[in-house]
Structure 1
Amino acid sequence: MLNFINRFEQAFHYSPIGMAILSLEGKWLKVNPALTDMTGYAEEELLSINFQAITHPDDLEEDMKLLHELIEGEKAAYEMEKRYIHKNGNIVWILLSVSVVREGDQPLFLISQIQNITVRKQLECELVESEERFRNLITNLPDPVVVHDGEVILYANHSIAKLMGGSLQEVIGEPITNFIEPNMIDEAKQMANELIETNQPLYNFDFRIKSYDGTIRDAIFSAIPITYMGKKAVMVSYKDITERKNVERALKESEEKYRLLIEHSPLGIVLHQNRIIQYANSKALSIIGAKKHEDIIGKSIYQFIHPEFQFIVSRNVDNMENGDVIPQTYEKFIRLDGQEIDVELKGIPIQMNGQSAVQVVFWDVTEKKKEEDLVRYRAYHDTLTDLPNRLKFQIDLEEEINRDTTFTVMYLDLHGLKPVNDSYGHQAGDMVLIKVTSRLTGVLDSIGLLYRLGGDEFAIVLPGKRNEEELEGIINRLIEVMKQPIYISNSIVQMTASIGVVFSPEHGVDMDLLLRHADMAMYHAKKTNSIYKIYDR
Structure 2
Amino acid sequence: MKNDNCEITRIDGVVVDITSRKMIEDTLHRSEQRYKSLFQYHNDTILELDLDGTIISMNQAAEIAYGEGYVAEGHKIWTEFLGAEGVRRAAEYFQMAKDGRPQQFEISSTDINGNVQNWDVKKIPIYVNGEITGVFAIGTDITSKRKIDRKLQESEERYRRLIELSPQPIASMRDGKLIFINAAGLKLLGAGSVSELIGKSIFDFVHPEYVQMAQDRAELVRMNKFIGTSEYKLVRMDGQTIEAEVSGIFDDQMQSTLMVINDVTVRNKMERALQESEERYRQMVELSPISIVVYKDRKLTYVNPAGLKLIGVKELDGIIGINPLKFVHPDDSGFARKRMEQSLRGLCSPEEYRIIRMDGKTVDVSVTSIYDVKTLSVQLVLVDVSARKQAEQALLKSEEMNRLLVELSDRFSSDLFGVLKVHELEQRLIKEVRDVIKASKVSLIEVERNNRFFIRCGHHIPERLPSSLFEWNQNILPVCEIVDMPDGHIIKLGEIRGKMYLLCICEKPQTLTLPSYRIWLETICRYVSVLYDNFRVIEDLTKELEEITTHQATPSWLLRLLFKLSEHERKRLSQDLHDAALQEQIIWYRKLDQLISNQSLPAKLQEQLEQITQGLLDVVYQIRITCNELRPPMLKEEGIVSSLEALFEFTQLRSNYSIEFSAFDIPLTLTDDQITGLYRIVQELLANASKHSNATRVHIFLTSGPDWIQLNYEDNGIGMDISKVENTFVSMGVYGMKERVRSMNGTIEFRSSPDKGLAICICIPASNEILTI
TM-score of Structure 1 vs Structure 2, range by shorter chain = 0.3 to 0.5
More helix by share: 2
The TM-score with structure 1 as length reference comes to 0.41
Higher gyration radius (CA): 2
More strand by share: 1
Higher relative contact order (CA 8 A, sep 6+): 1
